[in-house]
Chain A
């Protein structure tokens, strides 16, 4: 059972790291700020989610696990707020007018 959980942790965390790697490559290679933002928020949301999922069997339940999940939810909230804010600022700055709703 422990072996299975450990394998699950390794697989999930590695998958999460793949998302972070892809997000970083996108951040460096994508042509403009809006697409870079897209790459970055995907890495944050899915990558961190998978890392947290993988770490869940390794921490004390319930409080250790709940703290990890709370961290992921907070990162989701931050990403979901900052992404649109930056996107709005970039759009307005580049085109000199408000984006369509």
Chain B
């Protein structure tokens, strides 16, 4: 058995073990910690499969952001929530359904013809006309641009849903749920030292997305994380949700994407088609605006509904 295979097998066993541990964890808090570690290990698997774009997204969004949201939810659960656990019958049924889904997925993967059907050569062949070097960005922003456009709108919709949970008298206020009551010197120091580096990494991820793994979602998530860090440490305060500036930032990405998409009718002959000569600058403009909007939307999603504490 080669060394790489042994490492992969170890990683797979570790993930399976952690999945079982997360499922049977006795407290919600423990289960969330297990889920976050699980996500980081899955990101390692994506790296082993040479899908670095997916690995970055899994680590940043799947594990990091979702983990923080779940931690917040677990902290708000009443202490006696464990008493309301579903009965053995329901848990057994959920387990059987999950196992069936896993078995189905495994069957699909294992029964693929060799070589597997792929559109990769076609996707890479037309990349130069877009001025891109990363096929994943090509798929996200050109070939399947409509999906990405809808995804960026979904983030805004999610935030509207969250904000609608605010009480009437709190409407328009600041979402202050993130601020730690007593951040402590170490956290404040981290929130002062890390953001410059994080900003650099976030902008780099966005910029390099055109030619290497990275892009608006990964870059935006890193930027959001830095903002959230300063919010938790109390160094910055979240904006009022009624403010015009923050709303403009939120919709800038999807709006620019939509505007360039509509302009495609005249410039490229179809909705979301780019003119061959200016494809790269247009794509970069969309990605830049998307990065900003995603960062603001993710940060505000973590900050909760307005007026939790004023």
Query: What is A's interface to B at a CB cutoff of 8 Å?
Result: 74, 77-78, 80-81, 83-85, 88
Contacts and interface: CB of A to CB of B under 8 A. Distances in A.
Interface of B: 184-187, 189-190, 193-194, 197
A84 B184 contact: yes
Contacts of A77: 190, 193-194
A88 B190 contact: no
A78 B185 CA distance: 14
Nearest to A74: B197
A64 to B, nearest CB: 16
The interface residues of chain A, by DSSP majority, are classed as helix
A85 B193 contact: no
B305 to A, nearest CB: 26
Contacts of A84: 184-186
18 contacts: A74-B197, A77-B190, A77-B193, A77-B194, A78-B190, A80-B186, A81-B186, A81-B187, A81-B189, A81-B190, A83-B186, A84-B184, A84-B185, A84-B186, A85-B184, A85-B186, A85-B187, A88-B184
Nearest to A89: B184
A83 B190 CA distance: 12
Contacts of A74: 197
A85 B189 CA distance: 12
Nearest to B185: A84
A98 B190 CA distance: 21
Contacts of B197: 74
Given A77-B190, A84-B186, 9 more contacts: A74-B197, A78-B190, A80-B186, A81-B187, A81-B189, A83-B186, A84-B185, A85-B184, A85-B186
A47 to B, nearest CB: 18
A84 B189 CA distance: 12
A36 to B, nearest CB: 15
Contacts of B186: 80-81, 83-85
A83 B185 CA distance: 12
Nearest to B197: A74
Nearest to B180: A85
A84 B185 CA distance: 9
The 10 closest A-B CB pairs, nearest first, are: A81-B190, A84-B186, A81-B186, A88-B184, A85-B186, A85-B187, A85-B184, A81-B187, A77-B193, A77-B190
Contacts of A85: 184, 186-187
A32 B185 CA distance: 24
B201 to A, nearest CB: 10
Nearest to A70: B197
A78 B197 CA distance: 13
A88 B185 CA distance: 11
B145 to A, nearest CB: 33
Contacts of B185: 84
Nearest to A78: B190
Nearest to B189: A81
A51 to B, nearest CB: 15
Contacts of B184: 84-85, 88
Contacts of A81: 186-187, 189-190
Contacts of B189: 81
A80 B187 CA distance: 10
A41 to B, nearest CB: 12
Contacts of A83: 186
Nearest to B191: A81
A74 B189 CA distance: 13
Contacts of B187: 81, 85
A81 B232 CA distance: 14
Nearest to B184: A88
Name the residue in B186, B189, B194 with the highest tally of chain A Cβ atoms < 10 Å from its Cβ.
Answer: B186
